[in-house]
Amino acid sequence: MVSFTDGAQWPSEKPRLQPVHLTLTIAHDITKTAETDDLSHSIDYSSICKTLVDVCSNQNYLCLESLRDHILLETFHRHPEIQDVTIQITRSRALLHPASTQLVVTKTREDVGDHEYLTIQDLECRAIVGINQCEREEGQLVAFQLTLQRSPISTVPFSFRSLAQQIISSVSQSAFLTLEALAYSVAKIALEFSAGSCEHVTVRASKPSALVCAEAAEVEITRSLKNGSVVLRLPIASGPSSKSHLTSGIGISGASGSSLERTPNIPIAKRTASHSLSEAVDNIMATSSKPSLGPATTDDPIQKDNDALSTLSQLASDLSLEEPSDYHRVALAIGSNMGDRFSNVELALRLFETDGIHFHRLAEDGFVHVINTSFLYETEPMYVTKQPKFINCACIVETNLSALQLLTLLKRVETIVGRVTTYRNGPRAIDLDILTFDKEVIDTRPLGERTLDNLEGHLVVPHPRLTEREFVLRPLNDMVPDFILPNTGKTIRELFTSLLSTQGPDPQVTHKVVPFPRYPLTRNSPELDSFLAKIPQVTPPPPTATYWKFPLCPTTATRSQRKTYIMGTLNATPDSFSDGSVNNNIPAALSYARSAVAGGADIIDIGGYSTRPGAVYVPPEEELSRVVPIVQAIRTLGQYQVADQHSHLDISVEAQARRVLMSIDTFRWEVAEEAIHAGANCINDVYAFSGPEDLRGESNEQEDHFQKMRQVARDLAVPVILMHSRGEASANKDYSAYNYAADVTGKGAVVEGIKVELGRKIDAIVRGKGGLRRWYVIIDPGIGFSKTVEGNLEVLRNATSITDDKPSGSTAPRNPLAGFPLLIGASRKSFLGGILELSDPAGRTLEGAQSQERGVGPLQRRWLVLYNRTLL
């Protein structure tokens, strides 16, 4: 016990006795004693012990430094045999928060000793550190061990207490994502605190609660005032206590006093300076017209840093990068809550997909290809809640741009689309964020300055707020649920599920949405038009007419939240099965349109080529001449009529009919294109872009047809209804062999068959370069097509499962139709005629079948149900 006058755990004026642990290590040649077994040649440790006890008990000490000096003085004075000694003085219970403070010095009789080590052990406090949601929300205990190297040895008391207080105050306000950054910031504080006397500090930071199967996650860094070299050591300690291992590495066990040098130093990153994004971009522009790819052969310090940091993260998270390739896979988040949100999203995608002018000076042969898209969501604003709702989605792109080049491109695109600076998290025409970049971890912020408030002008990947944002995780989960997010070890699905589980029971705030464009085209704003005229490769996206909203959880949504959109069918054919030859002239079609909207139709489907079994071939010109005039007539309905108060027409119905959505029921791209330019807003294709049978023999022809259909839909930015059928729709045959997993009763095979067969087509349509945005696809199981009566009923009874996601935890492959809105077209079809024993199609309604309880289950619990109902 030693009496100190600088207080114990609490500061005090009065001297207080407190426990001190002393270790003396004496370098001495023991050969003679060993050979002769004569103590006179060696050191009598009992007498040294007595010296130490005397020193400790004889007087009060101001601080560790004065105790050190007395011990050295008395040891050399009373024991002339000692030439070289290392003293370790540990004051346990010295301060309120750390377990102990410690001073270690090595001195010979002659010299004064050139440096000493000052250590604070097990300084504990709470902090937000880590990337998991609960770590960010709840914070956790973190522990530090700091060892400062003071040179030369000083008699000035080192204020361990003030340094500990500064660290606690800073750490408790920090919110780093990584332990590395936290340790680095603590090192900085310590060096600044002791400026002038200490040149090096080693900080070991640990999260004792972070891992289940290990005592702690730890990193250790050594930092000096001259450079910021970072040393990573045992990034994640598993198995036996890492603490004791590390402590023995640092504690004094030898006489040289250089034990710190013995810690394994693995230089990971050398930071020469911090760089802002603009510097980095200038750098790229000034030095390279080619993207920097592959390993760090470049002299670009940012690139080196990034490479080094990603190496760091690789070690820490045990993730290995895939084989190097000449392009990157990147997930991007897109959001918009100002102007025409849908058109903004589409324009942004088109701009960064277009090689050419805006790549100028960024990368000569740069490309960005969108290869997958999520669904589209309308979301409540997060952070700043008083602003318009957002439209959010995500996409996967392939690019040969580097991450910083891509960020620069995204910023340019944001400007072109019309983003202007508002306040933080405020409204914006477009927001484009890089979510992930291959499996890399990138952070261009200087170590020690890696807070969430310090993003401007930097790049942080994975996006630092990714895991807290439902509006980002949900769309990512649409595309890559099994991707393991770097640094977390968790899949997107797991992160998403865990975020949802912390958010309380209000799934109704977000909706899946399907936008419908407005045709015929009108002009954009003059500014946008004149800008886009300079980029001839970019076709401006159409303005939005309206959008449909679907609850995310149809099984829990209330009836009012679960709006069913109604489709009326208008067959402009002489031979359609339900209304052929009734509506194939303009006056009849207009009168149908009026009555359909008055009866609640949300969309009218117009077809000029019957899919009736045995229907005759219709040439394209004939099909065009049947549908286009009708589309035009509906779009201009009442436009040139003078409102006549004596007219029997209800003007509002007239105006409604003029604005009603129209889908064009065709498998031909020429017909789709012309009908849409005339005013239709949607394509309804019973062949799902694979064309009728006569195309199927020629594989090139079928491929060309597919490409053309997809391109027209994509360029015109229209929703498409894609139906399941087999073979020639008009032959409507092949009921055979749905050889898919059925249950023991033989049921389920038809639904499974639809998933597989239509799923294959949808995948080809949505994925890959040139793919249609996922949010434009509505799927139709094709009731009455290639299915038996029992098969049709099975589809109706199990319609929900057609678009179900696989249950979480299941290892089955994902349903390729998961999450798509669903169209059910059952009315007037012959299988209903069979059930209802009605030969007149007009009486064959789904409601009729349901009311007769003929095995048609209730259809309310859907993402979407569209009754293909004739409303007349």
Ligand X SMILES: Nc1nc2c(c(=O)[nH]1)N=C(CO)CN2
Q: Is 335 in the site for ligand X (CB under 6 A)?
A: yes
Q: Among residues 65 and 433, whose Cβ is nearest to ligand ATP?
A: 433
Q: Among residues 408 and 702, whose Cβ is nearest to ligand ATP?
A: 408
CB 446, min distance to ligand X, A: 23
Q: Is 374 in the site for ligand X (CB under 6 A)?
A: no
Q: Is the peptide bond before 462 cis (omega within 30 degrees of 0)?
A: yes
What is the widest separation between alpha-carbon atoms in the chain?
133
**3-class SS at 664?**
strand
Evaluate whether 832 touches 848 at the Cβ level (below 8 Å): yes
Separation CA 57–CA 70 (nearest Å): 11
Among 70, 465, 696, 747, binds ligand ATP (CB under 6 A): 465
Q: Is 425 in the site for ligand X (CB under 6 A)?
A: yes
**Structure token digits, residue 170:** 């800073």
Among 90, 149, 354, 379, binds ligand X (CB under 6 A): 379
Partner from ligand X, ligand ATP, none contacting 471, C-beta within 5 to 8 A by type: ligand X
Q: Is 503 in the site for ligand X (CB under 6 A)?
A: no
**Structure token digits, residue 311:** 């190496």
Partner from ligand X, ligand ATP, none contacting 382, C-beta within 5 to 8 A by type: ligand X
Among 375, 390, 669, 775, binds ligand X (CB under 6 A): 390
83 exposure class (CB count in 10 Å sphere: 0-12, 13-18, 19+): middle
CB 126, min distance to ligand X, A: 28
CB 509, min distance to ligand X, A: 9
CB 629, min distance to ligand X, A: 43
Among 48, 55, 459, 606, binds ligand ATP (CB under 6 A): 459
Among 135, 220, 433, 470, binds ligand ATP (CB under 6 A): 433
CB 743, min distance to ligand ATP, A: 46
Partner from ligand X, ligand ATP, none contacting 457, C-beta within 5 to 8 A by type: ligand ATP
Evaluate whether 820 touches 777 at the Cβ level (below 8 Å): yes
Separation CA 561–CA 603 (nearest Å): 19
CB 549, min distance to ligand ATP, A: 23
Partner from ligand X, ligand ATP, none contacting 455, C-beta within 5 to 8 A by type: ligand ATP
Q: Is 393 in the site for ligand ATP (CB under 6 A)?
A: no
Give the binding range for ligand X (CB under 6 A) out of 96-104, 124-132, 377-385, 525-533.
377-385
Among 455, 731, 818, 872, binds ligand ATP (CB under 6 A): 455
Q: Among residues 330 and 680, whose Cβ is nearest to ligand ATP?
A: 330
**Structure token digits, residue 516:** 């419908």
DSSP 589: H
Evaluate whether 331 touches 469 at the Cβ level (below 8 Å): no
Neighbours of 504 (CB within 10 A): 7
Partner from ligand ATP, ligand X, none contacting 359, C-beta within 5 to 8 A by type: none
> What are the start-end ranges of the E strands in 471-564?
484-485, 490-491, 511-517, 544-551
Q: Nearest 10 degrees: CA dihedral of 829, 833, 838, 840? A: 20
From residue 518, give the alpha-carbon distance in Å to each of 245, 515, 668. Answer: 69, 10, 21
246 exposure class (CB count in 10 Å sphere: 0-12, 13-18, 19+): buried
Query: Which of 164, 741, 177 is CA-nearest to residue 441?
Result: 177
> What value, to the nearest 5°, has the Cα angle with vertex 103 and ends 100 and 108?
155
Q: Is 859 in the site for ligand ATP (CB under 6 A)?
A: no
Separation CA 292–CA 596 (nearest Å): 59
Among 189, 416, 429, 460, binds ligand ATP (CB under 6 A): 460
Separation CA 287–CA 403 (nearest Å): 16
Separation CA 49–CA 65 (nearest Å): 20
**3-class SS at 672?**
helix
Partner from ligand X, ligand ATP, none contacting 465, C-beta within 5 to 8 A by type: ligand ATP
CB proximity list for 122: less than 8 A, separation 6 or greater: 98, 99, 100, 143, 144, 145
Q: Among residues 410 and 552, whose Cβ is nearest to ligand ATP?
A: 410
Partner from ligand X, ligand ATP, none contacting 379, C-beta within 5 to 8 A by type: ligand X
Separation CA 313–CA 339 (nearest Å): 40
Partner from ligand X, ligand ATP, none contacting 624, C-beta within 5 to 8 A by type: none
Query: What DSSP assignment string belongs to 83-140?
Result: -EEEEEEEEET-SSSSSEEEEEEEEESSS--S-EEEEEEEEEEEEEESSSHHHHHH-E
CB 336, min distance to ligand X, A: 8
Partner from ligand ATP, ligand X, none contacting 562, C-beta within 5 to 8 A by type: none
Among 330, 461, 492, 758, binds ligand ATP (CB under 6 A): 461
Give the binding range for ligand X (CB under 6 A) out of 145-153, 382-390, 695-703, 748-756.
382-390
Q: Is 663 in the site for ligand X (CB under 6 A)?
A: no
Q: Is 785 in the site for ligand X (CB under 6 A)?
A: no
- Within 254-283, the residues that bind ligand ATP by CB under 6 A are 277
Evaluate whether 540 touches 524 at the Cβ level (below 8 Å): yes
Among 434, 485, 513, 866, binds ligand ATP (CB under 6 A): 434
Evaluate whether 687 touches 729 at the Cβ level (below 8 Å): yes
Q: Among residues 463 and 787, whose Cβ is nearest to ligand ATP?
A: 463
Partner from ligand ATP, ligand X, none contacting 833, C-beta within 5 to 8 A by type: none
Give the binding range for ligand X (CB under 6 A) out of 194-202, 264-272, 374-382, 815-823.
374-382
Separation CA 54–CA 72 (nearest Å): 13
Q: Is 431 in the site for ligand ATP (CB under 6 A)?
A: yes
Give the binding range for ligand ATP (CB under 6 A) out of 165-173, 195-203, 261-269, 453-461.
453-461
Q: Is 441 in the site for ligand ATP (CB under 6 A)?
A: no
- Within 453-472, the residues that bind ligand X by CB under 6 A are 471
Evaluate whether 88 touches 23 at the Cβ level (below 8 Å): yes
Give the binding range for ligand X (CB under 6 A) out of 381-389, 559-567, 581-589, 683-691.
381-389
Q: Is 392 in the site for ligand X (CB under 6 A)?
A: yes
Residues that bind ligand X (CB under 6 A): 335, 379-383, 390, 392, 425, 431, 471
Residues that bind ligand ATP (CB under 6 A): 277, 407, 424-425, 431, 433-434, 455-461, 463, 465
